[in-house]
Amino acid sequence: MGKIRTCLIGVGNCASSFVQGCFYYNDPNADIPGLITKNFGGYRAYDIQFVSAFDVDERKVGRDLSEAIFAKPNCTTIFQKEIPYLDCPVEMGFIIDSIPPHNEQFPESVRFKPLKNIYETPEEARRAIVRSLKEKAVDVVVNYLPVGSEENTLFYAECALEAGCAFVNAIPVFVSKLYGERFRKAGLPILGDDIKSQVGATIIHRVLTRLFEDRGQKIKRSYQLNFGGNTDFLNMLDRERLKSKKISKTQSVLSQMNDSYFDPQNIYIGPSDYVPWLKDNKICFIRIEAEQFGGVPMNLEIRLSVEDSPNSAGVIMDAVRAAKVALDRGLSGPIIEASAYLFKSPVQQFEESEAREMLKRFARPEEEGLKEEEKFFKPFKKHPSYEKSSVKTGYMGSLEV
């Protein structure tokens, strides 16, 4: 099948876990747990090849990716110590809004140490980055910028479009909705937005919400509170950077509810604080208050503790392989079959069981998946984005490329 030539925008904790994972799962004969999909359309984890990376931290720029993933302020668990030299030097990116204003208030060991921009204008930076992506023949660009990097994310999406690369958006900026049609017209796939963890706060909250709904219990109120000690939580102390994150997480949970009369004021989902000594560990508290048979009240409370970055790395591994499968099949636009299961804010939401089945069918070799295409996609209801969605084509975006 060949390699998936991948570029990382941002070499933080999530990138570290992702790169480590590609070598942790490099034995085709080993039955090692932890992946959602072992064989995705013919591609294995070790088929992902890192050929390009961009960051702005002085401790990472200029170093090989194999070293940069372990540099400060990264603090995630190192589960794969031996990473070979990748011949992938981390290049200087371009800062627009990726560094929060309060960054300088914290010790250097836990915050970003950004270099000054080397490009005078966004246009100059775009030309340089596009040239680099083309020279390295990048297939898939993964956006790992800090939460709140709205303008920077759109900047790199523009670079991917011009360079002819698929785009995987791991953060809560709604690029698939904003640029989905542009990627479709360019004949390129886009996956997103906002990566789900394998077993994280959002997926647990979604599944429990659906469980209450399916069992006839009316949800009255709910919250999800998250805190941790990595740069993501430090970055989100600036509440202005949380708007898209809160929308993404909240809508992901609300999408599983059938009650049109539910007051959105009765649900709160969002990061709540930064605790440095937790490092990459994330703590989550979920509470659901409901009304059971006879109007009798009940409630459920859960505490989740999980290493944040490895929890999403296996999901991004599926997303990158899905993007390459999309390229191989000559398909484009928002990749609903993969995005619905792997991301919090796809352009179209589905129940988890439906979304999982979509992903499984999409991950099959093309000749197998097409046999069941008509049977599987016929029952789906139309959505406002249906005419331009991948569901209509049977696999993903427009076939007219």
52 vs 59: CA distance, rounded Å:
17
22 vs 149: CA distance, rounded Å:
26
DSSP 141-163: EEE-PPTT-HHHHHHHHHHHHHH
Look at residue 25 and give its three-state secondary structure: coil
- Say how many residues make up the chain: 401
7 vs 65: CA distance, rounded Å:
11
The pLDDT value recorded for residue 31 is 86
Sequence spans of domains, the chain: 4-197+310-337, 201-307
19 vs 229: CA distance, rounded Å:
21
The pLDDT value recorded for residue 260 is 64
Q: What is the pLDDT of residues 88-142, one digit of tens each?
A: 999 999 999 999 999 999 999 999 999 999 999 999 999 999 999 999 999 999 9
What H or E segment, with its residue span, contains residue 220? strand 218-228
Contact status, residue 225 vs residue 288, Cβ threshold 8 Å: no
Would you say domain 4-197+310-337 falls under CATH 3.40.50.10540?
no
**Six token digits for residue 36:** 């959602």
pLDDT in tens, the chain (401 residues): 799 999 999 999 999 999 999 999 999 888 888 999 999 999 999 999 999 999 999 999 999 999 999 999 999 999 999 999 999 999 999 999 999 999 999 999 999 999 999 999 999 999 999 999 999 999 999 999 999 999 999 999 999 999 999 999 999 999 999 999 999 999 999 999 999 999 999 999 999 999 999 999 999 999 999 999 999 999 999 988 878 888 888 888 988 888 766 788 899 998 779 999 999 999 999 999 999 999 999 999 999 999 999 999 999 999 999 999 999 999 999 999 999 999 999 999 999 999 999 999 999 986 555 444 444 444 334 334 334 444 433 333 322 22
Phi, psi (rounded to 5 degrees) for 93 = -85, -155
Task: Give CATH for domain 201-307.
Answer: 3.30.360.10
**End-to-end distance of the chain based on CA atoms, in angstroms?**
21
Give every strand in the sheet of 267-274, ordered side by side: 267-274, 218-228, 281-291, 297-307
Annotate 93-126 with b (16+ C-beta within 10 A) or e (fewer).
bbbbbbbbeebeebeeebbbbbbebebeeeeebb
Contact status, residue 383 vs residue 328, Cβ threshold 8 Å: no
- Strand 218-228 and strand 166-169: the pairing is unpaired
DSSP letter, residue 57: B
Cα–Cα distances (Å) from 246 to 161, 288, 302, 342, in that order, read: 27, 18, 20, 18
275 vs 286: CA distance, rounded Å:
18
262 vs 13: CA distance, rounded Å:
37
Instruction: For residue 245, give the nearest of 335, 145, 319 by alpha carbon.
Output: 145
- For residue 284, what are the β-bridge partners? 226, 304
Contact status, residue 18 vs residue 318, Cβ threshold 8 Å: no
Contact status, residue 71 vs residue 57, Cβ threshold 8 Å: yes
Contacts of 17 (CB under 8 A, 6+ apart): 76, 77, 309, 310, 312, 313
- Strand 281-291 and strand 297-307: the pairing is antiparallel
